[in-house]
Amino acid sequence: MSEFTTVARPYAKAAFNFAVEQGAIQNWHEMLQFAAEVATQEDIRTFLKSANSREHVTKVFVGVCGEQLNENGQNLIKVMADNERLAALPEVLRLFAELRAEHEKEITVEVTSAVALSDAEQEKLSATLEKRLTRKIKLNCSVDPSVVGGLLIQAGDLVIDGTLKSKLSRLAQSLQS
């Protein structure tokens, strides 16, 4: 968890609630992505640490972002600059994305298998998980030969370990006790 989570949470919630009211969730997500990318640039980070005028910081940051920010996005940047919180923009983006996924009933599921899953297997797994989790599923599949066989599925706090490696480990423990 980032050191900025507590600082970023109110900004992310406010931006998200405003975006929902305006029906502009995608637009806000894009603005925050751009602003967060600007905030991570080394020159900007150095400038933010050394600047002593909040108005100057706002003017420069908004100037760098240019037309990527609408008036409301510029207002968010001004408020964050006034409170010396622009460095928290990447975390604001992350929290905004979480709120968006929750709002859209979507979850990213990490799937680890010993061999690459075919498209048909991914579709079947996705459909099964959609029913179980009652959310739209975005699969992020990876291959790890050390799992030997089966799948390791991680969706938020839920972990389903159906790997052969895990089953063999449990069997070995039960034989030793």
Nearest CA among 38, 37, 24 for reference residue 71:
24
The count of domains in the chain is: 2
Listed residues 70, 102, 134: the one ending a domain? 102
Residue 2: the pLDDT is 60
In this structure, are 52 and 21 located in the same domain? Answer: yes
Residue 28: the pLDDT is 94
What averages of pLDDT result for each successive group of 10 residues across the chain (177 residues)? Answer: 80 94 92 92 84 82 87 91 89 93 87 93 93 89 90 88 87 87
| Phi/psi of residue 138, nearest 5 degrees | -115, 110
Residue 1: the pLDDT is 47
Element holding 139 (H helix, E strand): strand 136-143
Signed CA dihedral, 48, 53, 59, 62: sign only? positive
Range of the domain at 114: 106-176
In this structure, are 41 and 113 located in the same domain? Answer: no
Question: Within 13 A of 16's CA, how many CA atoms are on the CB side?
Answer: 19
Residue 58: the pLDDT is 84
Is this prediction's pTM over 0.75? no
In this structure, are 127 and 69 located in the same domain? Answer: no
Residue 3: the pLDDT is 74
Residues 47 and 154: their CA atoms lie apart, in Å, by: 39
- For residue 19, the Cα-to-chain-centroid distance in whole angstroms is 17
Listed residues 102, 126, 152: the one ending a domain? 102
Residue 107: the pLDDT is 86
Q: Are 81 and 53 in contact (CB under 8 A)?
A: no
